[in-house]
Amino acid sequence: MRAAVCRNFNQPLQIEEVFLAPPEEGEVRVRLSACAICHSDITYMDGGWGGTLPMVLGHEAAGEVAEIGAGVRNLAVGDHVLVTLIRSCGHCADCERGEPYICGTPFPIDDNSRLTSVDGEIIVQGLRTGAFAEEVVVDQSQLVVIPKNLPMDAASLLSCGVITGLGAVVNTAEVRHGASVIVIGCGGVGLNAVQGAALVNADPVIAMDLVEKKLEAARNFGATHVINPLANDAMQQTRGLTNGRGADYVFVATGSSKAFEHGLELLAPAGTLVIVGMPPTGQKIAVEAGNIAGASQKILGSKMGSTRLREDIPKLIALYESGRLKLDELITGRYPLEEINHAIDEVRADKALRNVIIFGKTS
C-alpha cells in the first residue's frame, strides 16, 4: 500500500510503497477513505515534539473495517468507523475513573510497529495511528462504528478536531448556560470550541485570532463577537463585552505560550483558563501565582476534549444529522495522497481550516 512517510523533520513527506502487517490480537485493519490534516501532524513533522523517524503521521481518519484480529469485539468486516488516537485498556486506574483519553497502559504495538518499508525498515505509526496511508492497523479501542450514510470526509473530523475543541467546552470545562467565553485561536480546534460554546448557550462567545478570514469563519460557527488583537485592544474590548469583569472561561486553542499568558489576562475572577492547544516541547508560561490564588482562578488542561468515544461520538453524529453541528463547513479542500504536501502547506500558511486527504470515494 502507499503512505506519506516523514523521513526528515522540516522536509516534505515522501509517498512510498510500504508493508502493513496483519492485525494481531485485539487489533483491526481499516481501509481508509479520508484523513484530515491536523496541526499536531504539522508540529510533529516540523520537529516540535521530536520522535523517531521514519514515521507515518495522520490520526484524524475514517474508513471501513477490512480485517479483524483475534479477540476483537463489537466490530465486523465492512463496518464504517472513525479512527482516533485515543487508545485505552479499559481496566487501569484512569480508565476505571472514566478518563480513557489519558490511559497510559503500554500496548504491544508501541514496541512493534505494524508498518515497515519494502526493505524491512521499521516505520513508526505516528500519534498511535499512521493514517497518512491507505490502510492502518490499530487497537480496537481506537475505533468507533459510524452510520454508513455518514460522509467519510466529514466523519473524519470527529476523530480529533471536533472532539478536542467542542469537548474542551462541554466535557472538560462544563461551561454553564449564559457564561462568557473567549476562544483564542480559530483554526479547526478553535472553531469547534466556538460552536461548542454556542451549543451550550454561552453568552457572549468571543472569538480571537490574528487572521480575519478565521474570524469570519468564527461568526459562522456561533461567535457573537470577534476580536483581532492586531487591530483592537483585546483587553478593552473584552472588558466592554463582559461588564468589566473579563471572561468566565478562556479557551486557548493554539500552541503558543504567549497566547496562554494573554488568556490569563482576559480571565474574570473565579474564571477558568483551559489549555487546549499543544505547544512544541520546551515552551513554558509565566504565571503570577498570587494573582491566580487571589482571584480564585483555575487552569485546566484538556486532552482530546476529555472524550469518551462510545458515549460522545453518537451524540455528535446526532447533532450533525439534525443540522446543529457543522462539519462540512470545516473542510476547505479535498486532496489525493499525492498532493498531501500542498495540502499541508495550505494549513500551515493559514489558508485552510481543515484539508482532507481522500482515498477513493468520500462516502
pLDDT (tens digit, 9 = 90+) per residue, 217-252? 999 999 999 999 998 899 999 999 999 999 999 999
Q: Are residues 14 and 149 in the same domain?
A: yes
Q: What is the mean pLDDT of residues 273-298?
A: 92
CATH code, domain with 334? 3.90.180.10
Q: Are residues 15 and 151 in the same domain?
A: yes
Burial class (CB in 10 A: 0-12, 13-18, 19+), 81: buried
Q: Which domain holds residue 145?
A: 2-158+327-358
Residue 150 lies in a domain: yes
pLDDT at residue 363 greater than cutoff 80: no
Residue 311 lies in a domain: no
Q: Are residues 260 and 170 in the same domain?
A: yes
Looking at 211-215, 287-291, 315-319, which range is the least confident one? 287-291
pLDDT at residue 336 greater than cutoff 80: yes
Q: What is the mean pLDDT of residues 92-96?
A: 97
Domain boundary among 287, 302, 317: 302
Q: Are residues 176 and 124 in the same domain?
A: no
More confident residue, 37 or 363: 37
Q: Are residues 187 and 296 in the same domain?
A: yes
| Nearest partner of 103 among 113, 111, 91, 95, judged by Cα | 95
Structural domains in the chain (count)? 2
In this structure, what C-alpha cell is assigned to residue 29? 485493519
Q: Are residues 153 and 8 in the same domain?
A: yes
CB atoms within 10 A of CB 289: 7
CB atoms within 10 A of CB 119: 6
Q: Are residues 39 and 133 in the same domain?
A: yes
Dihedral sign computed on CA atoms, order 43, 49, 50, 55: negative
pLDDT above 90: percentage of residues in the chain: 93
**DSSP assigned state of 172:** I
pLDDT above 70: percentage of residues in the chain: 99
Residue 307 lies in a domain: no
Q: Residue 341: its pLDDT value, please? A: 98
Q: Residue 279: its pLDDT value, please? A: 87
Q: Are residues 171 and 153 in the same domain?
A: no
Residues 6 or more apart in contact with residue 233 via CB below 8 angstroms? none
CATH code, domain with 250? 3.40.50.720
Phi and psi at 216, nearest 5°, equal -60, -45
Q: Are residues 22 and 144 in the same domain?
A: yes
**DSSP assigned state of 293:** H
Q: Are residues 152 and 175 in the same domain?
A: no
Q: Residue 362: its pLDDT value, please? A: 40
Q: What is the mean pLDDT of residues 25-29?
A: 98
Q: Are residues 179 and 123 in the same domain?
A: no
Q: Are residues 139 and 59 in the same domain?
A: yes
Query: Band of the pLDDT at 11, cuts 50, 70, 90?
Result: very high
pLDDT, mean over the chain = 96
Phi-psi region of 185 (alpha: psi -120 to 50; beta: other; left: phi over 0): left
More confident residue, 288 or 134: 134
Q: Residue 361: its pLDDT value, please? A: 52
